[in-house]
Amino acid sequence: MRKLVKNNVSWVGFLDWEIENFHGYDYNIRRGSSQNAYLIEEEKTVLIDTVWTPHQNDFVKNLASEIDLKKIDFVVANHGEADHSGSLPALMAEIPGTPIYCTANAVKSIEGQYGKRGWNFRVVKTGDSVDIGNGKKLIFIEMRMLHWPDSMATYMTGDNILFSMDAFGQHIAVSELFNDLADQSLLWQEAIKYYANILNPFSPMVAKKLPELAALELPIDIIAPSHGVVWRDDPMQIVEKYAQWSADYQEDRITVVYDTMWEGTAQIAHAIADEITRQSPDTVVKVYKIPTSDKTEVMTDVFRSKAVAVGSPTAVNGILSSVAGWLDYARELKFKGKKAAAFGCYGWSGESVKILQARLAEIGFEVVEENVRANWKPGEADLALVPGLVAALLGNKPAEE
């Protein structure tokens, strides 16, 4: 099945309703996703990207039901990751020798995954272009580290479509295809989740690339990413969001995350959440028990927050493995400019708070000294430390006695 994008450009991708995770189990998908591929039928017939390996036979069969595959003049591989290059083996078996336009790094990533098969790669760099007839051409724009070294975007003149690859995408299945037809609340939740969990580590490159893109002065009527909706209604709105999100983004929001053995650390977590609301009623507070929460969504809230409070009881001179794993994922996402505080209960040795503080500092949080470290169960004296911890996170002076 194809869906018309504009004039002679169609979507020929795969709506993946069943997919539940991505990048191993690092990214949880709750509402399906799509791998978007596009077919351009001008004087030249061009396929932009393919779909993930498990769907390659369906993809090729579907494409063959739409056009004679031998009519494809060339393929553009904007990115070598398997969710977009995964059908190349099945496709190229049908049309061997057909040129594949991609970056030099994409040749490495594609051959690294599928082996050297003698495919006819045409290496391109920013500013290179190819005529597709009817007065239109494709212009290639390298998007290095957004989010792989091989990433690029392809711009189609005449119809003014930017095939932006992963950038501006979302993991959500939208059969309606276009951004103006999608459920707006879900769309924006998924767009920021995608940015927080996939692109945030590369925010400095996003911040650098957006002005470079603007400097090319290419009119953009449509942004067609590789996942989720096609942005046809005010497409620059997602570009403006990326400009904000790449600039050490934060809202008036604090996220409290913890795990607990016998509810003592949970009690401190909730006392901190209540105190945030008491001291700063407009600040949005979210509380997550790490092992039973969706870590992709938790990290989205951390991305939106100006501060976090992280709790773990001491377990055998360390912290709970759930919290350790969570911290490791937070390290990957390279958050910047956010405060953090630590808390936790202990029975005898009590190292967890110091370990949490050290780990949070190491992964880029601005750790405040104020903490709550409670022996066995939090008592009155322990909970009396909560206002100071919260004031430090909010940047407030401690309340006068």
Label residues 297-313 b or e (16+ Cβ within 10 Å = b): bbbbbbbbbbbbbbbbb
73 binds ligand FEO, rule: CB under 6 A: no
| Cβ pair 246, 206 in contact under 8 A | yes
Is 55 or 147 the residue whose CB approaches ligand FEO more closely?
A: 147
Among 55, 136, 227, 232, binds ligand FEO (CB under 6 A): 227
From 5-13, 81-89, 94-102, 135-143, span contacting ligand FEO (CB under 6 A): 81-89
Residue nearest to ligand FEO (CB): 81
Q: Whole-number minimum distance, CB 169 to ligand FEO, in Å?
A: 7
Q: Whole-number minimum distance, CB 104 to ligand FEO, in Å?
A: 17
- Residue 294: partners with Cβ closer than 8 Å, 6 or more residues away: 28, 30
| Cβ pair 289, 260 in contact under 8 A | yes
| Cβ pair 274, 281 in contact under 8 A | no
Among 15, 53, 60, 79, binds ligand FEO (CB under 6 A): 79
d(CA 205, CA 279): 37
193 binds ligand FEO, rule: CB under 6 A: no
Q: Tokens at residue 361, please?
A: 């500092």
Is 112 or 347 the residue whose CB approaches ligand FEO more closely?
A: 112
What residue ranges in 8-44 does DSSP mark as E strands? 9-11, 14-16, 21-22, 27-28, 33-35, 38-41
253 binds ligand FEO, rule: CB under 6 A: no
Footprint of ligand FEO on 166-185 (CB under 6 A): 166
Footprint of ligand FEO on 90-149 (CB under 6 A): 147-148
Q: Whole-number minimum distance, CB 165 to ligand FEO, in Å?
A: 7
Is 142 or 259 the residue whose CB approaches ligand FEO more closely?
A: 142
| Cβ pair 161, 5 in contact under 8 A | yes
* Residues identified as active-site: 23, 79, 81, 83, 147, 166, 194, 227
Is 23 or 377 the residue whose CB approaches ligand FEO more closely?
A: 23
Tell which phi-psi region holds residue 165, choosing left (phi > 0), alpha (psi between -120 and 50) or beta. left
Q: Which amino acid is at 261?
A: M
84 binds ligand FEO, rule: CB under 6 A: yes
Is 172 or 391 the residue whose CB approaches ligand FEO more closely?
A: 172
d(CA 33, CA 54): 14
226 binds ligand FEO, rule: CB under 6 A: yes
DSSP 54-114: GGHHHHHHHHHHHS-GGG--EEE-S--SHHHHTTHHHHHHHSTT--EEE-HHHHHHHHHHH
Q: Whole-number minimum distance, CB 57 to ligand FEO, in Å?
A: 20
Which residues would be at the binding site for ligand FEO (CB under 6 A)? 79, 81, 83-84, 147-148, 166, 226-227
